[in-house]
């Protein structure tokens, strides 16, 4: 298998470049997939199109920077642990804090909007995005804040492809999270969440506390956004750390949501990796001067337009999104 891959890689015009392109694409795609998944979870279970997802990403990354490097909390009290484990505990604490912020935002800004038109609620989330981004940026300040990943700039060189340690870990973490979400969706709360997503009134008739489901959905989405923010703010992405522009990553993840189908969680994953690989391919092969440096950033949108022409509801979305 590995040999096959090597042969395939070397057989391509520039095999190494191709393999490198794939690795980069998958690792970037994982970030998009995490963001898109959270977006879809919120949309499905609470009927909110969440334009504040970027703000959640920036907030999550900032909290990780704060807990892991500024405060070193609670790691500083866990001296019996190796350093990387202390860092991991700090990050998990930050992610829990991010999830709590997610719950709070839903409770304060979106719960009162239950029953209002989809569009009106989407506009409210734009307001939430601005509020959260402003506050987070104030906390971040003008300098990027490093997240202090213990594996730093280390790279595994396999000869035909180079993978950063952080990418290896990122892909592993993403796989674990995908598995955890799949498992969750079959759990008691997960089944209740899917029931709520499908038919809120009937879910309530089964005794599901729909408000609690909203909280869980936002907690999960904020957690996933935090993880995406983490991997976006370390080497080999933006190694300097989280800064005021981190939140804009969400705009590059939105096409992933649409490509996969607004209401499909597997779709979000497929869309995320599709956009990641497409961007990476553009980065590797489309280096025409006249397209400029920003071109890979719009590849996701181009791909989205093509997909929408062929499948108006996305790859895995259901044709009529709202049924009553």
Partner 1 sequence: MLAVENLEVVYNDVVLVLRGVSLAVPDGKIVALLGTNGAGKTTTLRAITGLLDIHEGEVTKGEISFDGAQITEEDPSNRVRRGISQVMEGRRVFVEMTVEENLRAGAHTNRDGERVKEARERVMTLFPRLADRRQATAGYLSGGEQQMLAIGRALMQDPKLLILDEPSLGLAPLLVQEVRDIIVEINQQGTSVLLIEQNAKMALSIADYGYIMETGKVVMDGDPAKLLKDEDVKEFYLGLHATGEKKSFRDVKHYKRRKRWLS
Shortest distance, CB of residue 322 to partner 1, whole angstroms? 14
Nearer to partner 1, 288 or 322 (CB): 322
| Sequence-ordered list of residues with C-beta below 8 angstroms from that of 118, at least 6 positions apart, any chain | 47, 49, 322
Nearer to partner 1, 4 or 207 (CB): 207
CA 230 vs CA 9, 59, 318: distances in Å: 30, 10, 32
Nearer to partner 1, 194 or 311 (CB): 194
Shortest distance, CB of residue 324 to partner 1, whole angstroms? 11
In SS3 terms, the chain reads as CHHHHHHHHHHCCCHHHHHHHHHHHHHHHHHHHHHHHHHHHHHHHHCCCCCCHHHHHHHHHHHHHHHHHHHCCCHHHCCCCCHHHHHHHHHHHHHHHHHHHHHHHHHHHHHHHCCCCHHHHHHHHHHHHHHHHHHHHHHHCCCCECCCCCCCCCEEECCCCEEEHHHHHHHHHHHHHHHHHHHHHCCHHHHHHHHHHHCHHHHHHCCCCHHHHHHHHHHHHHHHHHHHHHHHCCCCCCCCCECCCHHHHHHHHHHHHHHHCCCCHHHHHHHHHHHHHHHHHHHHHCCCHHHCCCHHHHHHHHHHHHHHHHCCCCCCCCCCCCCC
Nearer to partner 1, 97 or 121 (CB): 121
Shortest distance, CB of residue 193 to partner 1, whole angstroms? 10
Q: Pick the closest to residue 193 from 175, 215, 176, 174 (CA basis).
A: 215
Nearer to partner 1, 10 or 206 (CB): 206
Residues forming a β-bridge with 91 = none
Shortest distance, CB of residue 313 to partner 1, whole angstroms? 15
Shortest distance, CB of residue 182 to partner 1, whole angstroms? 14
Shortest distance, CB of residue 297 to partner 1, whole angstroms? 35
Shortest distance, CB of residue 39 to partner 1, whole angstroms? 20
Contacts to partner 1 by CB under 8 A: 115, 186, 188, 191-192, 194-195, 198-209
| Sequence-ordered list of residues with C-beta below 8 angstroms from that of 113, at least 6 positions apart, any chain | 120, 121, 124
Shortest distance, CB of residue 209 to partner 1, whole angstroms? 5
Nearer to partner 1, 5 or 191 (CB): 191
Shortest distance, CB of residue 116 to partner 1, whole angstroms? 13
Nearer to partner 1, 196 or 283 (CB): 196
Nearer to partner 1, 264 or 283 (CB): 264
Nearer to partner 1, 4 or 115 (CB): 115
């Amino acid at each position: 298998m590995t040999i096959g891959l090597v042969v395939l890689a070397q057989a391509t015009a520039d095999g190494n470049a191709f393999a490198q392109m794939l690795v980069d694409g998958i690792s970037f795609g994982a970030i998009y997939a995490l963001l898109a998944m959270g977006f879809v979870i919120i949309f499905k279970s609470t009927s909110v199109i969440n334009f504040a997802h970027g703000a959640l990403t920036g907030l999550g990354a900032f909290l990780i920077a704060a807990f892991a490097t500024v405060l070193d909390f609670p790691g500083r009290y866990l001296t019996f642990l190796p350093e990387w484990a202390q860092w991991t505990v700090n990050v998990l604490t930050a992610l829990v804090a991010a999830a709590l912020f997610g719950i709070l935002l839903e409770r304060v800004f979106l719960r009162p909007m239950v029953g209002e038109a989809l569009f009106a609620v989407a506009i409210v989330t734009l307001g939430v995005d601005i509020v959260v981004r402003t506050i987070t940026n104030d906390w971040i300040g003008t300098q990027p804040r490093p997240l202090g990943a213990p594996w730093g700039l280390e790279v595994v060189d396999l000869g035909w492809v180079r993978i950063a340690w952080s990418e290896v870990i990122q892909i592993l973490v993403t796989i674990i999270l995908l598995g955890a979400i799949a498992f969750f969706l079959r759990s008691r709360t997960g089944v209740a969440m899917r029931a709520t997503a499908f038919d809120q009134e009937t879910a309530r008739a089964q005794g599901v506390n729909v408000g609690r489901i909203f909280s869980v959905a936002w907690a999960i989405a904020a957690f996933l956004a935090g993880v995406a923010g983490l991997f976006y703010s370390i080497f080999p992405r933006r190694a300097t750390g989280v800064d005021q522009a981190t939140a804009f990553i969400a705009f590059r993840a939105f096409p992933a949501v649409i490509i996969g189908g607004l209401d499909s969680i597997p779709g979000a994953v497929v869309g995320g990796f599709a956009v990641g690989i497409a961007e990476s391919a553009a980065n590797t092969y489309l280096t025409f001067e006249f397209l400029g440096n920003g071109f890979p950033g719009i590849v996701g949108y181009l791909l989205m337009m093509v997909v929408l022409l062929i499948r108006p509801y996305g790859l895995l979305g259901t044709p009529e999104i709202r049924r009553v």
